[in-house]
Structures are given as C-alpha cells and as structure tokens.
Structure 1
Amino acid sequence: MHIKESAPGIGAAITAMADRFIESGLSKIVTWSGWESYGRTGEAASQGGVKIVLTASSIEMSDFNLNPFLAFAGGFPQVLVQKKLYPPVPSNEDGSAKFAPYGLRKVESLLIDEFGEENVVVTHPHNLHRFIGPNTEIIGITTMDPLGTGFVSRTYTSILGLNGRSATLAEFEDLMNDPSIRGSKAKVIVGGSGAWQISELKMQDALGVTSVLMGQAERSLPAIMRDILRGSVPDRTIPMDTPSPDEVPLIKKPAIYGTVEIMRGCGRGCSFCSPTLRHCHSFLLDHIVKEAEVNVRGGTRMIILQTDDVFLYRGKERFLPNKEAIVGLFRAMGMIEGMEYLQVAHASLAPVVYDPSIVEGIAPLLVDRSTWTCRNKRCASVEVGIESGSPRLMRQHMRGKMLPYPPEQWPDVVVRSIEILNDHDIYPLATLILGLPGETDEDIHATVELLERLDGSKLFYVPLLFTSEEESKLRQQRHGALRDLDEDQWGILSSCWKHNIDVWSPERARSILLASTMSGPYFWMKHGSKVLAPILRVSGLEDRLIGRKAAIPCQPNFCTPEIQPIEDAMYEKTEE
C-alpha cells in the first residue's frame, strides 16, 4: 500500500475524499503514542560526528501510528498527506532512533560487527545535525520509493493529480536537502528496494548521491564500506552479490513494527516482481524468535512476520505448504512475552485452497493479536496478490503464482481462498494490476468477471498500474499509464473502491457522494469523459440512478467451486 492542509474548493473536496478512502480501509483499535518522547534537543554534532550515519526519509522513519497498511498512503499526492499520519519514531536520549526500518537495522548490524558500535548510528532526519560532522565519512540512506515511481505512487498520484508529487518523493527530497547532508563532505550511499528508481533515471548528481547500491546487502556491503573509508571512489551504481543464509546477521536493535524476516525470496517467478525471482530461503525458528525478542525487549508492541509468502515458510517441493512448520512458527510467536499484536506481511492464495487446515491453525492467534476491526468486529488482514482474473495473463506472467494448480483454475482458486479466509475472520488487502504487457479486452473482461464473483466478500482492493521495476523480468517494458486505460479498466478501478467503501465504511457513503460530486468536474478535465461512469460508481449515484447494484451477486455454485485434486490438476500440467 500515507494527508496536508486542505486546499479551497475542489481541493478540499478531494482531500476529504482521499482522507475517507484511507480511513475507511481498516478501522484501528490501537494507537501508538510513544513518539511523544521525540525531541530535537541536541546541540551540534558532538566530538566531530559519527563516522557512519544511517537514516531514511521521515515517511519511512514512522510506524504510521502502528498501522503498516496505512504506509500505502505515501503514494498519494503530498498535498493530501497530513504529517500527523506518519509521526516520527521515538528517539533515545542520545538522539539515535529507538526504532528503524528493518533493512536499515540489518545494515546497522553488519556495520557494527565490522567497524564497532561507536562508529555507526541510526537516526531520524530531524536529528541528523546531532551526528553528522567533520568526522562523518559515510551517510547511508535506505529508500522504498524515492522518486514516486513505485506501483502505488504512480497510480494514485496520477489519478488525483494536484501537484503531481507523491508524499514519498516530497519527503525524500526534503531529506536530500537537509542542511546536515548538503553541508557534509561525506559520501552519500543509497540502497533499499526503491534505489533502482535513482539508478534508472541517472539522478545521482541531481540528488547529491555518491553511489546507489542494488540488491541485498549482507555479502557485499562491508567490503564496499571498507573501500570508501580507505578513500576509494565508488561506482555510481554498484550491484551487490546475493548472500548465503549464514551471512544474514541478527538485528541488534528494534525495528519499526517489530519486523522479523522469516524467509527471503519467493521463487514463484512473477515477471513484474523482483522478490519472486530470488531463491526462496526460510530462516531457522531460533533465528526468528531471537529477532522477535530483540524487538519486544526494545519496546515494540507488534511483531510483523516479513515474508513474500507466509505459506512458503519451509515449504515442500512444487510450492506445497509445510503445515507443521507454519503452525509451529505461529505457536512460537504466541509464546513470546510482551508481544501484543501479530501481523503477517504477505501470503499467497493457492495454499489456502490446497490445505485450509493451515488457516484454521493460525487464524485464532492472528485474529486475537490483530489491530484491526471491520464494523466493530475484530479481524485479521494480510496482503495478497490477485493481480488479474485472466488465466491467459497468469500463464504468461505469473505461471507459478497459482501452483500447485494450473493457470486455468486461477479464478476458482481466488474465489475459494477468499471464502476460506473470510470464514476465519481474515479479510485480506488484495492488489490488482492494470495494464500488464499484452493485456487484451478479453483479459480485462476476465478480471471484471472475477470481481463480480467476489462481490460480497470481505477484502480491501488496491488496484495498481503496472510498473516495470528494474530488477524484474519486465524491466524493459513501458510503465502502464492512466491515459492508456480504457473504460473497462477505469471501471475496475472504481468498482474496487466502491467495494472498499461498501464493505469497510458504508456510513461514509454520504460524504463520499458529496466529495465525488464536487470533484467530478476536476477529474473530467484531467482524465476525460471516460471517468464519468467511474465517478458515478464510487459516489453511489450509479446505484441510485439505475436502481440496482452494478455488480452481479455471487452465486453459491461459483463461490464454492470444486478444485481439482493436486494429483490431477498439477502434475500432469507440469509435464508440458
């Protein structure tokens, strides 16, 4: 899946609409108030500064009031994103960050082992002046979306328009313009999952970046840092080697959201995604528990199990889930004293259908330790990827996503898996991708049909424009663009958000009707006449004018399809 002062007139209406969309996603039953301890009380950097200073933009140095899914809002226009949505992480007495992004904590751990704790610090941008000084030689920055060209930013900043700059871009610019960084002679090294954006557009000089690191850090980073400290001038872009599992260190200090990596990579091979191209490796349970305990001792109230697919944890051949290992992992998490909340980052849908008893085994803990409610009912959530309803596109771009089932059964797998998750009070956040390379009218209609079958299901849709990430198979393809969407694709966008409103916050329908009506002329002028029907749908006017729901009710014989047994469905297909 991040809103500023309201603009007058249409701007105010758009602000109200976007604010309600964000708030309607999942109601919170907990808030994080520890950030009040943050304070800019430091003097100039003491004793000449710290040799290596690590940081991230303000929007990435926040836990969004303990709401990880709200971080999606960072892809909305900066003018709509109020800073109160992403308060700074609390600081320790010396100004270092009490919590930090998980990847930055991994880097910190590597560098402490290599150069000593006294030479490495992680801090919020507001405290950079306390640590950057004449002795500072390296400023390391992690970033997920520095130029606002990620999936969410490209989609929703393009739709809403306004100043055309996502909140992630605005905050990254603020960081790079910080006087402590601009006035330092230190080398500025940028890494993280969004670093490719800087390299792709060759923005190093414009941003004041010395070098961009591409890939996983554990194997290559210590040597790169040693060379820089010895006076070597690094290349503008440095690809890093893939580490072995035993090169991945434990974090030493708590991460934002209490993040713990349970596995790395996916291996399903989706062509638009970089993690799916990495070899899948599960960390040992002892490793996972130790990091969870570091987080809890450090004061976090939540643990997030970071994974590209929780159902692949210690998985078997042909992407079959390992029930014993998965349930054992959750049992171990439930025994950690001091953990109030538990959240899973990502999951795939096919294993839910293959072995529903896994969901039955882990759902009680997830729901009991959840921070979410839907209409005053406690529920759990997890991000899943539906992406498309077209078996043809799934075969072309995501052949491994539905394993152990064939691509032809993907719509049935989606419907049945969502039903199983809902039956256990898990209401997923589901992404869809519009404008995949080669998408035809038939593919679009297949997605529309799938959404119709899911009508009435409890999930939160996040439709996104296709983005060709640098480390994906489709990196040479052109990004999807709003101007290329036809009326049916705009219809998918509007149907998804109408569903979100109806399921999660129907009481806001009147406010959204007013906001949509007032902002309609603006969107018409910006995107053309093909947005008229979507505006009517989101606003609820379509239902009033037509006198019925636009979507087709889900029929029982479609909602609970019979999925072929794995022996019949998969193994004969893999022989092709």
Structure 2
Amino acid sequence: MVEMKSSVHTKFDDKMPENGGVPIVLTASMIEMSDFNLNPFIAFSGGFPKFLVQKKLYPPVPFNQDGTAKFAPYGLRKVESILIEEFGDENVVTVCPTNLHRFIGPKTKIIGISTMDPLGIGFVSRTYTSIFGINGKPATLVEFEDLLSNPALKKYRAKIIVGGSGAWQISSANMQDKLGIDTILIGQAENSLLQIVRKALNGEKLDKVITMQIPVDKEIPIIKKPSIYGTVEITRGCGRGCAFCSPTLRQRYSFPLEHILREVELNAKSGTRAILLQTDDVFLYKSKPNFIPNREAIVKLIRDIDKIGGVDYIQIAHASLAPVVYDRKIVEEIAPILVEKSLWRCNDKRCASIEVGIETGSAQLMGKYMRGKMLPYKPEQWQDIVVQSIGVLNDNDIHPLATLILGLPGEQEEDILATIHLLDKLKGAKILYVPLLFTSEEESTLKRQKHKDLKNLDELHWDIIARCGRYDIDTWKPEINKIVMAGSLLLYPYYRWKHGKKIFKVIMKFSGLDEMFLNRKVGIECQPQYCVCGSNKEVEENY
C-alpha cells in the first residue's frame, strides 16, 4: 500500500496569484517534467528505487518568463492544445510543480495531472525495485506523492483530474481517495476531454473514473508549444496484437507528413535540439497490408526531418525486428542520418540506438502472445529473425536496447531455455539487454493475469537476469568490472537474506567471479577486466 509522505514544499508561497489564478492548470511530477539531461534512455531509471536516483539526474525543465514550463511531456502538450483551442491561451497553463502556487487561485477550477507510472508498478519499476530489494520506493512514486502533497493543490478546492498512460494504476490499487484525486481518466484524451472539462468548469459532478472514447485521427491536434525531448508522434497504436502491451489495442494511425514536420519545426525553433520520434514501431509508418514496411515513406520522413534547421539529434523510440529482415535497405538508407545525429557514442565512435522487443526466444510463446510481432514470418522463425535483424542493425552502427519479458503466463522450462539459447546465439552483438518482469497492464488483453514476482522466478529466470547484467557491463562498461565485483561481494550477505540461496549463482555470474574461477580451474590466464591483481597466481594469494 502507498503511504503519503509529509512533504515540505519550501517554495510554496501562500500569497494569492495575480488575477486570482488560471482556470485550468496542467502539470506532472518533477520526474516527468525533466528531460534527464536530454537522455531519454536514462529516463528508465525513474523506475529504480529513489535512493539510487539523485535529483541531479532529472533537473526540471526551464521556465518561460511568466513561470510556465518551456517544455512539457508530449501527451500534456496534446491536452493543452485542445484546451487552448477551446478556452483560449489565457485560461490554460502548463507548469512545473514548483510553480503551481503562482497559478492556482480562486479562479482555478481544474488541476490536470499527467502520469506514466504514478505508483511505480510498471514493467521497469516493478522489476528493478524488486531486484535491488532495498525497500525503496521507486523514484516515480516518490515524486508523484510529492506532487499530490503540494499545498497549492488543495487550497482553493479545484478538481484534481489525473490522466495519462499510468492513470489506471491508481484506480486499480484503490488509491484514488487516499491521494485526493477527484477523477481519473483512462485512455486517450482527444475525443472525450472537452465534454469532461466543460462539466468541471460548470461545477457539475464528474464520475470518479471515466473511460475515454477512442479518437479518430482528425481529432488529434498539432501541439502548440514545445515538448520534452522534442517529442513528435509519427504513428499511434500498433495492431500487431502482443497480448501484454497496451498500444496494440489502440487504433493505428500514421500522421500526415505535414503534421509531423510542423511539430518538428515548432520544437526546433523553441530550442529543444533533439527530436524524439514517438512510435510503437517506426516500420508501421504508412505501412502496407500485413505490416509490410513502406520504405519510401520512412526514408522520406527521416530525410525531411534531417533538413529542418536546429535539429541536432534525431532519436526513434521503438522498432520491430521482423521488418529489418524483410527490407534491410530501409535501415541502410536511414542509418547514416540516425548515426550522424545520434546522442550516443559507443567505444568512442558515434552510434545510434533504438528500443526493440526481443521478449522471448520461445516460438511457442511468440505464437501464443505475439503472433503479429514477426509478421510476415512465422513464430518458429523468430530466433533467426532476431539474430539476422540485430546483425543488420549492428552492421549499420545501430546498437539497440532490447527488452526481455520474464514470466509470461504459461511459460515453461523449455520456453526459458529457448531464451537462453537465443542469448547464446547473440553473443558478440552490440545490444543493451533490459530484462523485465511480466506486468499485467490495464489496457492489455492479459490484464486479468497475475504479475510475475521475483519470489516466483525460476532459477533459469535468475540466470537470464545475471547473464544480461554481465553482458551489458562487458559490452558497454568493462572499466567498472572491479567495482561491480567488489560491490557484489559486499552485498552478497544482504541479497542472500533477501532472495535466498539461489542468489549465489546469480551474484557469481553477474560479478564475473564465476568466469574468473573457471579460468583459474582450467589454467587460463584471467582476463584483465576481471583480474583483481595481475594473474591467477596473484588472485589465489589474495584469496
């Protein structure tokens, strides 16, 4: 159960804002009102325990002269655009939590809050809070609690309305009343929002939980003010049918090129520097029947964005792997631009990255839960598709972040072994693995299934977690191996108490100690990144 902390808001000013406040005030938690120093992948750390996530990792976005937020989450900008169009710019503001007191007053009727992971029970939050296991709340939860305890929210009794992709967590956990939230909006905003806001402004009673109607593409507006990361939506929805995923249930749109470029230009002129192309799969952009990628449209999209002045970086959010195999020329044609305008460097060489979903090596689970993921191929071809597509991406200096889902409903030992076998096939590839515990999200077809918890993990699942951690360190940060080894030894007693005796093999593999001792046993000189001293003999003397 979530416990509200007593937070001291040192910047709260008890004075009434000028002109009595603004009727509609929009905001999000401090962690969502940050660009993580222009690093969208580091934003994953918001799901880690708060004690690991220092505030310097997520500085607030800058303010405009009037105190409004210069940049804001993309979804909040969409909502803002709809409301400004209907009620006027002077009646709608988007602000950071630290500036709420400057805009909330007697005239304020609605405080709208957007959230992605308010209670810290999303895929990343659940997984890594559980693994670290040091009884720490996720940073996303701490900051959401802090926002809801802001005195400005309660002073004038405005209606608190919460929406966004994580709003379901609050109603699902029966935390709405305790958090002081009047109404929760589930789903996409564009169709139903104005009707709800008009009622709230007129003082009419709202339902506690409202499920929004699905919008048509013409109802989705162009943002009027810049977004964090320079986010621009190029597609919405997916349709591939992955049972654990919420976007797959949404109507799929590819936005017109003119619509996309107008948002890119707006962000570029506002000084965002980066453009994040929001999509559940870039290869769905204007795709053909049966998910066949449209090379001409995708290449033109990237090239046209590249021509816009002020765009220093271009980052694509997500991609599927099957289209890479189907038409590798798409990657070959867009990769030079993505690499040239990448935020990332790999071993002192510029490289691009993109998030992809490997999820499992099991053809059985692919056929059961993700049949559309490998189209136009068959589930039994999945491992070959993964290996070939990662090879194509790496050949073009794209080094993906790849998720794996542990504990899908009905997963058997042979399914887990298939994933381990796939990881063996991918040895040497440039990948950052992110293993995740299965989480039943409200807007997915598996929403009635139980979450997977660490206490129910098979030893083979733990082996995957350890393998991925060790691989990530060896591939991307080998210089920290000695620190990881020392830290693993120091923390072993705690993790032995927390997770049981099965953690011994996990710690050995993750730290690299198993490889070091294996090399000693067979008489192989230890690798420099693992050696505590300089040779196996010296290690033996120290132990």
Output the TM-score relative to the length of structure 1: 0.88
Partner residue, 2:126: 154
Contact 2:354 2:401 in 1 (8 A): yes
Cα deviation per residue 1:149-170 (whole Å; 9 max; x = unaligned)? 1000100001112233100000
Partner residue, 2:502: 530
Are residues 1:195 and 2:132 paired?
no
Are residues 1:396 and 2:368 paired?
yes
Contact 2:104 2:156 in 1 (8 A): yes
Q: Aligned-pair distance for 1:184?
A: 3.1
Equivalences for 1:102-117 in 2 at 5 Å? 102-117=74-89
Cα deviation per residue 1:505-541 (whole Å; 9 max; x = unaligned)? 1111111111111111111110111111111111110
Cα deviation per residue 1:396-436 (whole Å; 9 max; x = unaligned)? 00010000100000011001100000000000000000010
Q: Which amino acid aligns with 2:389?
A: S
Partner residue, 1:491: 463
Judged with a 3 Å threshold, the aligned counterparts in structure 2 of structure 1 residues 42 and 419 are, in CA distance, closer, same or farther, namely farther
SS at match of 1:324: helix
Judged with a 3 Å threshold, the aligned counterparts in structure 2 of structure 1 residues 350 and 222 are, in CA distance, closer, same or farther, namely same
Partner residue, 1:78: 50
Are residues 1:480 and 2:452 paired?
yes
Partner residue, 2:241: 269
The counterpart of 2:311, out of the listed 332, 339, 348, is 339
Cα deviation per residue 1:62-115 (whole Å; 9 max; x = unaligned)? 000000000100111011110000000000011100000000000000000111
Q: Which amino acid aligns with 1:442?
A: E
Question: Post-superposition, which runs of at least 4 consecutive aligned residues in structure 1 deviate over 4 A?
Answer: 39-44
Judged with a 3 Å threshold, the aligned counterparts in structure 2 of structure 1 residues 43 and 378 are, in CA distance, closer, same or farther, namely farther
SS at match of 1:492: helix
Are residues 1:144 and 2:113 paired?
no
The counterpart of 1:470, out of the listed 434, 438, 442, is 442
The counterpart of 1:46, out of the listed 11, 18, 23, is 18
Contact 1:375 1:505 in 2 (8 A): no
Partner residue, 2:427: 455
Judged with a 3 Å threshold, the aligned counterparts in structure 2 of structure 1 residues 439 and 46 are, in CA distance, closer, same or farther, namely same
Equivalences for 1:188-267 in 2 at 5 Å? 188-267=160-239
Contact 2:362 2:418 in 1 (8 A): yes
Q: Aligned-pair distance for 1:183?
A: 2.3
SS at match of 1:517: helix
Counterpart CA distance in 2 for 1:485 and 1:162 is: 18
Contact 1:306 1:345 in 2 (8 A): yes
* Structure 2 alignment gaps of length 5 or more: 1-10, 522-543
Counterpart CA distance in 2 for 1:42 and 1:121 is: 20
Counterpart CA distance in 2 for 1:410 and 1:182 is: 53
Counterpart CA distance in 2 for 1:183 and 1:446 is: 57
Are residues 1:354 and 2:354 paired?
no
Contact 1:176 1:182 in 2 (8 A): no
The counterpart of 1:510, out of the listed 482, 486, 498, is 482
Counterpart CA distance in 1 for 2:441 and 2:212 is: 17
Q: Aligned-pair distance for 1:48?
A: 1.0
Q: Which amino acid aligns with 1:280?
A: R
SS at match of 1:337: coil
Contact 1:343 1:370 in 2 (8 A): yes
Q: Aligned-pair distance for 1:319?
A: 0.4
The counterpart of 1:382, out of the listed 332, 354, 363, is 354
The counterpart of 2:400, out of the listed 423, 428, 432, is 428
Counterpart CA distance in 1 for 2:155 and 2:441 is: 32
Partner residue, 2:377: 405
SS at match of 1:529: coil
Contact 2:13 2:101 in 1 (8 A): no
Q: Aligned-pair distance for 1:44?
A: 4.5
Counterpart CA distance in 2 for 1:530 and 1:403 is: 38
Counterpart CA distance in 2 for 1:490 and 1:124 is: 40
SS at match of 1:430: strand
Contact 1:79 1:163 in 2 (8 A): no
SS at match of 2:439: coil
Counterpart CA distance in 1 for 2:474 and 2:55 is: 28
Cα deviation per residue 1:488-516 (whole Å; 9 max; x = unaligned)? 10000010011100000111111111111
Counterpart CA distance in 2 for 1:46 and 1:482 is: 52
Q: Aligned-pair distance for 1:42?
A: 11
SS at match of 1:68: coil
SS at match of 2:79: helix
Judged with a 3 Å threshold, the aligned counterparts in structure 2 of structure 1 residues 126 and 548 are, in CA distance, closer, same or farther, namely farther
Q: Which amino acid aligns with 1:488?
A: L
Contact 1:262 1:307 in 2 (8 A): yes
Counterpart CA distance in 2 for 1:42 and 1:118 is: 23
Q: Which amino acid aligns with 2:480?
A: R
Output the TM-score relative to the length of structure 2: 0.93
Q: Aligned-pair distance for 1:257?
A: 0.2
Cα deviation per residue 1:191-231 (whole Å; 9 max; x = unaligned)? 00000101111211000100100111001001110011111
Counterpart CA distance in 2 for 1:42 and 1:63 is: 29
* Structure 1 alignment gaps of length 5 or more: 1-38, 550-576
Partner residue, 2:251: 279
SS at match of 1:547: helix
SS at match of 1:400: helix
Counterpart CA distance in 2 for 1:538 and 1:121 is: 48
Counterpart CA distance in 1 for 2:222 and 2:396 is: 33
